[in-house]
A and B are shown apart, each in its own frame.
Chain A
Amino acid sequence: MASANGWKFFDCNCAFGPYRTRVFRFARTADELIAEMDFGNIERSLVYHTAMRFDHPAVGNERVVLETSGRPRLLPTWALLPSQTGEQPALDTLLGAMRRQGVRALRLFPDEHRYFLDDLTWGDQMAVFMERRIPLFIRASLDKIAGLLRSFPDLVVVTGSQGANPLDRYAWPLIEKYPGLVFETSGYLVDGGIEEFCKRYSASRLVFGSGFPDNANGAAMLTLARAEISDADRQAIAWDNLNRLLEEASLP
């Protein structure tokens, strides 16, 4: 399905499921999310279930697979925890389950799930994710992500939703240093930011995200649709880069 202006958008950052706090408009179910995607001009989404973030990863990871089943426009992700507490399967088991369930990317919520993003906590897992190029969508401040990348410099890390304030003074040194670092665009609303980023670096380091329902539906989509960049760059950010990241993930 082509969108109104001919562009298709593949959203790497959106959620469905219930919330404990008031959210003015959200998608309680996968089908409600698809309806919101239709309204917001989004063709496909790499999703998480709110239970992965706010209930428990073990609960949410099961629900996201179950509730996206039979809906090819929704691709599930799983939330990851440190191994030490034994709350998730052993790494080999986890990777095998990811392959069987069609999960090709993982999400980390270190603030909500309360762990460090460091070598001590993640030494046993990150080297494997780095080698297998499994994309990690991490919701954390850039100084924490910088710390993780210092230990695992070739990790494929997608980050965004950093809050509204422009962060390029923090972000650009990291982009120059770490080749696997990618920014998603739901939090990249500084005017001219996408254009400047593509000119200085490469469109290959950006992926489209709506941030739904944390952020307002339609905002990031129109920003990218009307960004002053080449059509090739727009296509890459809107669709191709995320597709490529998922295809490059190697599962046993």
Chain B
Amino acid sequence: MNPSPIAREYLEHGSSATCPIIDMHGHLGPFYGCYLPSSPLERMRHRLRRCGVRRIICSHHSALACDAQRGNALMQEVVHDYPDEFLGYWVVNPNDPDTTARDLRGFEQRTGFVGLKFWPDYHLVPVNSPKYAPALEFADALGLLVLVHTFGESPFDAPALLAEVGERYPRARFLMGHSGYGEWELSVAIARDLPNVYLDLTSVFQALDFAQMPGGSLMPRAPALSPHVNGLVEYMVETAGSHKVVFGSDLPWYSQHYHAGAVLFAHITDEARHDILHRNAERLLGTHLQGPAVSPADRQPAIRREEQP
């Protein structure tokens, strides 16, 4: 039997008082490509409470999939109304530079947003394209988090492309959404070698074979295969270190208990589980976790681990 007291606590109670979750990768709203039973906001809030999630950092599906202006505004309402549950990523659509420029000028006046969200595979713009440069320069200047959807072998957001921007913008802090699914060795090496790049566990715990799906992938090109993913967390922790891995679930897509189960029943230490489930997020979010009373001018990231004396 798994000897972890934390695993036992989640198994018996569904959550842990001593090891809560901060979910660094969530969304809001329904999605065009599938039915998501937990997408209604109240349903989602209920699910967060059941899993003991201290905070979830989201971007709105509408902002990603169609209308950045509308979706970002909807996200703003939610982080305003529920600041103790939700924080936001501001979605950048690189195909709309005027809106992006305007949005970035107003970014520091908004509370509840911790950084930017890029979806290169769906906006069909490579993350290292000049079209992303203004947003990346902005994130670099402010030390913002940038959550980038990454997938193995993608011409838009493969791990190697993320590494390129990670090196070019060293003060921005990059979360590799889905950990560059499929190109595991490269993704983990990048997170190990670049101090400002982190692995995000969202939807990495299941073998992904789009040949098994009648509609294939919504991405422009079938992504890298990964027929067997058990043991991936152990590999990440051993190679990049538990301080470079953050929890994400894609909620309302995927069950947070599914993702937590993979971390809790991985062959790693409880210290590593603490790092992954909440400590790394606490370091990355810093004063954002103190709630809406913090003024924009005071919103500084916590001291990075690698910068600590």
Are A143 and B205 neighbours in the complex by a CB distance under 8 Å? no
The interface residues of chain A lying within 8 Å CB-to-CB of B233 are 216
Which of A39, A141, A216, A221 interacts with B1 by CB under 8 Å?
Answer: A39
Q: Does B258 contact A (CB under 8 A)?
A: yes
The reply to whether B36 and A166 contact each other, CB–CB distance below 8 Å, is yes
Residues of chain B whose beta carbon lies under 8 Å from any beta carbon of chain A: 1-2, 7-8, 10-12, 14, 33-38, 43, 47, 50-51, 184, 203, 205-215, 217-218, 227-235, 249, 251-262, 264-267
A-B CB contacts (within 8 Å), total count: 191
Which of A151-170 touch B at CB < 8 Å? Answer: 161-170
Is the CB–CB distance between B228 and A222 below 8 Å? no
A191 pairs with B210, CB closer than 8 A: no
Checking B14, B211, B217, B228 against A26 with a beta-carbon cut-off of 8 angstroms, the contacting residue is B228
Report B-chain residues with C-beta under 8 Å of the C-beta of A251.
none
Q: Could you say which residues of chain B place their CB within 8 Å of the CB of A25? A: 230-231, 234, 267
Cβ–Cβ contact B253 & A218, under 8 A = no
Interface 0/1 of A189-223, CB less than 8 Å to B: 11111011000000000000001111111111111
Given the known interface contacts A164-B203, A214-B230, the answer about A191 and B253 at a Cβ–Cβ threshold of 8 Å is: yes
User: In the assembly, what is the distance between CA of A23 and CA of B231, in Å?
Assistant: 8
Contact B261 A220, beta carbon cutoff 8 Å = yes
Interface residues in chain A, defined as those with a beta carbon under 8 Å from any beta carbon in chain B: 3-5, 19, 21, 23-26, 38-41, 111, 139-143, 161-170, 186-187, 189-193, 195-196, 211-223, 225-228
Contact A219 B12 (CB under 8 A): no
Bound together, the chains give a CA A169 to CA B214 distance in angstroms of 11
Which of chain B's residues has its CB closest to A169's CB? B35
A33 to chain B: closest CB distance in Å?
Answer: 12
A64 CB, nearest partner CB in chain B, Å: 18
CB distance from A116 to the nearest CB of B (A): 15
For A189, the chain B residues whose CB sits under 8 A away are 205-206, 254-255, 258
